[in-house]
A and B are shown apart, each in its own frame.
Chain A
Amino acid sequence: MFDSLGDRLGGVFKRLRAKGRLTEADVNEMLGEIRTALLEADVNIGVVRNVVERIRVQAIGTKVAEALDPGQQIIKIVNAELVAMLGGETLKIAYASQPPTVVLMAGLQGSGKTTSAAKLAAWFKAQGRNPMLVGADLQRPAAVEQLKVLGAQINVPVFSAPGDPVATAAAGLAEAKRIGRDVLIVDTAGRLAIDAEMMQQVSDISAAVKPDYTFLVVDAMTGQDAVTVAKAFDETLSISAVILSKLDGDARGGAALSVKEVIGKPIAFAATGEKMDAFEQFHPDRMASRILGMGDVLTLIEQAEKVFEKEQAEAAAAKMFEGEFTLDDFLDQLQQIKKMGSLTNVMGMLPGVTKEMKNAQISDDMLTVTEAIIRSMTTEERRKPEIINGSRRTRIAKGSGTQVSDVNKLVKQFSEMQKMMKRMGGMAGKGGKKGGPMAGIPADLAAALGSRPGSR
């Protein structure tokens, strides 16, 4: 994996700490790191150049306040700039007064058009609409078949007819009117932006169905070419918005920034998983953190939301603060965490996790070992680990197939965590309503959460 911007700038600023203000050379070195971070995230080089220039202007004016970490200051500037670039105008769907509202899907082969079309249909359905899908991809074998299967899964009718894609799309529109569906989503074949014949075909489809919205599906893993593709499709079809697909992978997704900057159209949706409901409206602030490799607390929360029992987690957090968190509770939480995927993945989403920690080679077997040790304890030992003496330790180690020293470490760490939690709980308590529940959370974590617009 690549270094996050935080790691990169951290290196530069260690040397600058002693200095009071940034010289031009310092700024240049720092901008170089920002440039590399953006390029490694696949932001288009032309776009990178513009961003770096804008940041230069802001950075030169920045004095290094003594109390503040200049690295953090700069990251804040970069982050704000990216959020501004990715955000701006959002897409509001205005439904056609004469239904159906027609949506045309376009993109390269394999970008995820068919899946996104079905997900979009499911989304419209959730908005209380009656969508219909049209399979006008007659190129790829079984593309229409795929759409039909997906349509059946989400309970949305799918229309298609063999022969000419343009005629199929037009017939689909007529069919939607006939059976009274109010949203029509037309899936088209994937095509290369430089294939004039195929671009003409999609343009003909567009002329035949007169879409209210044309969505360009862009793979989050796309590299420098995203710009060329977006430009070509926008020139041919006049794109209304972009759907970013495969965002559940570990790609930084700089393509989002490139496309937004080059065609100036909003990114409306992000596809974030294999299931039909893994489709959501796009969040510029999350994307900015992701591009910078700064961790993605909100995605983490969402993932956690899916696996954790809400009441259970709240109870666990409350217990932690009161210092009543037992090894049993810990074991419970461990089970939940395991459902979220590998530990390394979860760690990657946490802000403020240093590179050393990420590189520390933690394997998921560690969780299993930890679990084994706890499971070898009696109920009483789990409630009051301080009663664990020498002979108990030996027994636990034997029972879990570990060394006595491992048991020691676990008990020691656990009691330290308990103390820390209690301290944080105290702080949160003192902060009261005013400080909110955030008061006890480590500074950069709170900052990451606090940077959410209009704390909902």
Chain B
Amino acid sequence: MNNISLPIIFLVLAVVVLVFGFGVVWLNRRKPAAPVVQRATPITKAAVVEEVIVEEAAVEVAVVVEKASVRDRLSKARSAFGGAVTSVLTRSEISDTTWDELEEALLRADVGVRVAQELMQPLRARVKSKEIVSPQQLIDALRQDMSAHLVSTDRELRFDATIEGPNIWLMVGVNGAGKTTSIGKISAQQTALGRTVMMAAGDTFRAAAGEQLATWAERSGAEIIRGAEGGDPSSVIFDAVQAANARNIDLVLADTAGRLQSNTNLMEELRKVRRVAEKGAGTVTEVLLVIDATTGQNGLSQARVFAEATQVTGIVLTKLDGSAKGGIVFAIETELGIPIKLVGLGETITDLVAFNPIEFVDALF
């Protein structure tokens, strides 16, 4: 037993009991109402009614053939909200204001205070030694440095054709990051490559997540295994792997329910999902953490905790077609060494592209 732990436990306990014992009386707060919904609420009849509408809505999605270019898709956002760097460039020399503006540009892109300072430190030295003299050189050097930090060679999605049984790609992330949509897009791309895909509707918690995934399965020509709402996600994914193996399907794309990384129980559940996924015939070759481009500094905490629980192998950065720059993934890749693999640029099935460090860095300012 470690020396410091015991006193801390006592202290925490004492304080919690004290605070609570008194807090309750003193604040005279209202008792929280009895929970309306349990996590395992069974599916109700009303849930089934809307199926028809969903199908109809599905038809409208046109499959755009041309590949989206990051630069094209971002130009709209950049012209509207860029500019921090433009003001740096309009100055004839590098002054204190230049540094402030540069830092601001980095911060606005969500790279974070520490990373911003780490990037500027060597540049300051190079300016001091007159190696860099003009604002243009400064910006170019910064872009080069940033791209150089993103040198991971591991950006391909890992598909191992030599293993026995299906490859399993597991999608994890917080609520609303875009896991289900990303699976739909990945599935479309993989089927286009000639691979057969099975989806596992492992998000058994969110209402109608299974329906959402089923729509994507249909659009992309994949098969799907679903469990009961409120059921055990591990067993759904396990079943999907077994079914895929029996039908000789190459790839299982496993969806999971969104969860905040601070929720210990749900992270524990996810650990189990990861473990059980490999109990059957398949092998987990990718664990993709989906991160929303609007995410701020919390993204680091997300990456750290999810990586610890599920051995994340890559990042999918979604919704980069908005005004958010997604700079936090720069911090994630450089600090935690998790490579960014895919970037989501829109709503259609082809709007998920391979991550390109140079385009990404260019689009940051």
Binding site for B on A (CB under 8 A): 1-2, 36, 39-42, 45, 108-112, 122, 126, 135, 138-154, 158, 160-163, 192-195, 219, 221-226, 228-229, 232, 246, 248-252, 254-255, 274-277, 297, 300-302, 304-306, 308, 310, 313-314, 316-318, 320, 330, 333-334, 337, 340-343, 345-347, 350, 357, 360-363, 366-367, 369-370, 402-403, 405-406, 409-410, 413-414, 417, 420-421, 424, 436-438, 440-442, 445, 449, 452, 455-456
Contacts and interface: CB of A to CB of B under 8 A. Distances in A.
Given A110-B178, A145-B47, A250-B298, A275 B10 contact: no
Interface in B2-25: 2-10, 12-25
Given A225-B325, A337-B13, A342-B264, A301 B27 contact: yes
Contact of A153 (B2, B9, B21, B37): B37
Contacts of B31: 305
B43 interface: yes
B142 interface: no
A52 to B, nearest CB: 13
Contact of A223 (B26, B50, B297): B297
Nearest to A341: B264
B148 interface: no
B296 interface: yes
A3 to B, nearest CB: 11
Q: For A297, A305, A357, which residue has the most chain B Cβ atoms within 10 angstroms?
A: A305
Contacts of A41: 297
20 contacts: A42-B298, A126-B33, A141-B57, A149-B47, A151-B46, A162-B56, A192-B319, A226-B296, A246-B174, A251-B298, A275-B36, A320-B17, A334-B13, A341-B264, A346-B12, A357-B4, A366-B5, A405-B1, A409-B6, A449-B19
Given A145-B50, A149-B207, A314-B21, A223 B27 contact: no
B12 A337 contact: yes
Contact of A445 (B17, B19, B45, B209): B19
B262 A345 contact: yes
Nearest to B1: A406
Contacts of A366: 1-2, 5-6, 9
A181 B131 CA distance: 71
Contacts of B292: 110, 219, 221
Given A248-B260, A367-B9, A224 B295 contact: no
B322 A403 contact: no
Given A142-B212, A149-B229, A223-B299, 7 more contacts: A45-B104, A110-B177, A138-B53, A246-B175, A300-B16, A301-B24, A438-B26
Contact of B21 (A1, A139, A318, A403): A318
Interface in B260-279: 260-265
A228 B264 CA distance: 33
B319 to A, nearest CB: 6
B19 A441 contact: yes
B216 interface: yes
A425 to B, nearest CB: 10
A334 B12 CA distance: 10
Contact of A42 (B45, B296, B322): B296
Given A149-B207, A149-B208, A304-B19, A45 B319 contact: no
Given A277-B35, A304-B16, A421-B14, A144 B262 contact: no
A339 to B, nearest CB: 10
Contacts of B71: none
Contact of A108 (B27, B264, B322): B322
B90 interface: no
B301 interface: yes
Contacts of A275: 35-39
Contacts of A193: 322-323
B77 interface: yes
Contact of A360 (B8, B14, B205): B8
Please tell me the size bucket of the interface on B.
Answer: 35 or more
B324 to A, nearest CB: 4
A409 B1 CA distance: 9
B207 A145 contact: yes
A436 B263 CA distance: 35
Q: For B44, B294, B302, B319, which residue has the most chain A Cβ atoms within 10 angstroms?
A: B294
Given A275-B35, A438-B26, A162 B57 contact: yes
A246 B20 CA distance: 25
Contact of A145 (B9, B17, B54, B322): B54
Contacts of B301: 1, 250-251
Contacts of B163: none
B323 A455 contact: no
Contact of B12 (A160, A318, A343): A343
Nearest to B22: A437
Given A40-B113, A141-B211, A225-B322, A152 B12 contact: no
Contacts of B298: 42, 221, 249-252
Q: For A2, A317, A437, which residue has the most chain B Cβ atoms within 10 angstroms?
A: A317
A301 B296 contact: no
B80 interface: yes
Contacts of B128: none
Given A42-B298, A141-B57, A313-B21, A417 B14 contact: yes
Contacts of B2: 361, 366
A42 B176 contact: no
Nearest to A162: B53
A442 B14 CA distance: 11
B64 interface: no
Given A152-B44, A248-B262, A250-B261, A305 B113 contact: no
Given A141-B58, A142-B212, A452 B36 contact: no
B12 A225 contact: no
Given A193-B323, A297-B19, A360 B9 contact: no
B107 interface: yes
A110 B176 contact: yes
B263 A248 contact: yes
Contacts of B6: 366, 370, 409-410, 413
Given A225-B324, A316-B21, A305 B8 contact: no
A347 B8 contact: yes
B294 A229 contact: yes
Given A313-B21, A317-B22, A413-B10, A221 B15 contact: no
B107 to A, nearest CB: 5
A233 B38 CA distance: 34
